[in-house]
Protein backbone atom coordinates (compact mmCIF):
# COMPACT_ATOMS: atom_id res chain seq x y z
CA UNK A 1 0.00 0.00 0.00
CA UNK A 2 1.42 3.41 -0.95
CA UNK A 3 1.23 6.44 1.30
CA UNK A 4 0.42 9.83 -0.13
CA UNK A 5 3.46 12.05 -0.48
CA UNK A 6 3.00 15.39 1.27
CA UNK A 7 4.86 18.49 0.22
CA UNK A 8 7.56 19.77 2.57
CA UNK A 9 6.95 23.08 4.31
CA UNK A 10 9.68 25.56 5.24
CA UNK A 11 9.23 26.61 8.86
CA UNK A 12 12.42 28.52 9.71
CA UNK A 13 15.57 29.94 8.15
CA UNK A 14 18.65 31.69 9.47
CA UNK A 15 22.24 32.52 8.59
CA UNK A 16 23.10 30.90 11.94
CA UNK A 17 23.41 27.17 11.23
CA UNK A 18 23.50 26.33 14.94
CA UNK A 19 20.15 28.10 15.44
CA UNK A 20 18.57 26.07 12.64
CA UNK A 21 19.85 22.80 14.10
CA UNK A 22 18.67 23.87 17.56
CA UNK A 23 15.19 24.49 16.14
CA UNK A 24 15.30 21.06 14.48
CA UNK A 25 16.24 19.46 17.80
CA UNK A 26 13.43 21.27 19.62
CA UNK A 27 10.94 19.90 17.12
CA UNK A 28 12.43 16.41 17.28
CA UNK A 29 11.91 16.27 21.05
CA UNK A 30 8.20 16.78 20.35
CA UNK A 31 8.09 14.11 17.64
CA UNK A 32 8.03 16.57 14.72
CA UNK A 33 10.28 15.45 11.89
CA UNK A 34 12.19 18.05 9.91
CA UNK A 35 15.25 18.36 7.68
CA UNK A 36 17.88 21.07 7.27
CA UNK A 37 18.51 22.33 3.76
CA UNK A 38 21.14 24.73 2.37
CA UNK A 39 23.49 23.75 5.17
CA UNK A 40 26.62 24.43 3.19
CA UNK A 41 25.57 27.36 0.99
CA UNK A 42 27.07 30.04 3.23
CA UNK A 43 30.38 29.58 1.38
CA UNK A 44 28.64 30.58 -1.86
CA UNK A 45 27.41 33.90 -0.48
CA UNK A 46 28.50 36.63 -2.86
CA UNK A 47 28.18 34.38 -5.88
CA UNK A 48 24.57 33.77 -4.86
CA UNK A 49 22.20 36.26 -3.23
CA UNK A 50 22.57 36.15 0.58
CA UNK A 51 18.89 35.34 1.12
CA UNK A 52 19.34 32.18 -0.96
CA UNK A 53 22.23 31.01 1.26
CA UNK A 54 20.39 30.79 4.57
CA UNK A 55 20.10 27.39 6.21
CA UNK A 56 16.46 26.34 6.16
CA UNK A 57 14.37 24.02 8.31
CA UNK A 58 11.67 22.13 6.45
CA UNK A 59 8.91 20.04 8.01
CA UNK A 60 8.46 16.59 6.55
CA UNK A 61 4.74 16.75 7.27
CA UNK A 62 3.09 20.15 6.69
CA UNK A 63 0.26 19.12 9.01
CA UNK A 64 2.74 19.70 11.87
CA UNK A 65 3.11 23.39 10.93
CA UNK A 66 0.79 24.89 13.57
CA UNK A 67 2.34 22.86 16.38
CA UNK A 68 5.88 23.59 15.16
CA UNK A 69 5.20 27.33 14.98
CA UNK A 70 3.83 27.26 18.52
CA UNK A 71 6.95 25.50 19.77
CA UNK A 72 9.44 27.68 17.92
CA UNK A 73 7.85 31.10 17.96
CA UNK A 74 5.81 31.50 21.13
CA UNK A 75 7.05 34.72 22.66
CA UNK A 76 6.27 34.31 26.33
CA UNK A 77 6.73 31.40 28.63
CA UNK A 78 3.82 30.66 30.88
CA UNK A 79 4.16 30.93 34.61
CA UNK A 80 5.40 33.53 37.01
CA UNK A 81 8.73 35.16 37.71
CA UNK A 82 10.89 33.39 40.27
CA UNK A 83 13.32 34.67 42.85
CA UNK A 84 16.75 33.07 43.06
CA UNK A 85 18.48 32.55 46.39
CA UNK A 86 20.97 35.27 45.42
CA UNK A 87 18.11 37.78 45.18
CA UNK A 88 17.92 37.97 41.39
CA UNK A 89 14.38 38.06 39.95
CA UNK A 90 14.06 35.99 36.75
CA UNK A 91 11.39 35.39 34.11
CA UNK A 92 9.47 32.11 33.90
CA UNK A 93 11.35 31.01 30.78
CA UNK A 94 14.64 30.75 32.67
CA UNK A 95 15.61 27.61 34.56
CA UNK A 96 18.98 28.91 35.72
CA UNK A 97 20.05 32.20 37.29
CA UNK A 98 22.27 34.29 35.03
CA UNK A 99 23.91 35.95 38.04
CA UNK A 100 24.96 33.03 40.24
CA UNK A 101 24.29 29.96 38.06
CA UNK A 102 21.84 28.34 40.49
CA UNK A 103 18.99 26.29 39.02
CA UNK A 104 15.34 27.03 39.77
CA UNK A 105 13.97 24.59 42.33
Q: What is the pTM of this model?
A: 0.64
Task: Reply yes or no on whether the pLDDT at 7 is more than 90.
Answer: no
- Which residue range is the domain that position 99 belongs to? 77-105
Q: For 49-97, how does the pLDDT look when each residue is reduced to its tens digit (9 = 90+)?
A: 888 889 999 999 999 999 999 888 875 556 788 999 999 999 888 889 9
Round the average pLDDT of the chain to a whole number and report it.
Answer: 87
Residue 27 resides in a domain = yes
Judgement on whether residues 68 and 47 belong to the same structural domain of the protein: yes
- Secondary structure (3-state) at 10: strand
Residue 2 resides in a domain = no
Rounded alpha-carbon distances, angstroms, from residue 40 to 6, 12, 33, 54, 55: 25, 16, 21, 9, 8
Judgement on whether residues 24 and 40 belong to the same structural domain of the protein: yes
Q: For 20-49, how does the pLDDT look when each residue is reduced to its tens digit (9 = 90+)?
A: 999 999 999 999 999 999 998 877 777 888
Amino acid sequence: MRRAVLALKRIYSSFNLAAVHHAKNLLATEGIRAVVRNEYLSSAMGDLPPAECQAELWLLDPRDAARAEELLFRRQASGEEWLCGCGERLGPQFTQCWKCGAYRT
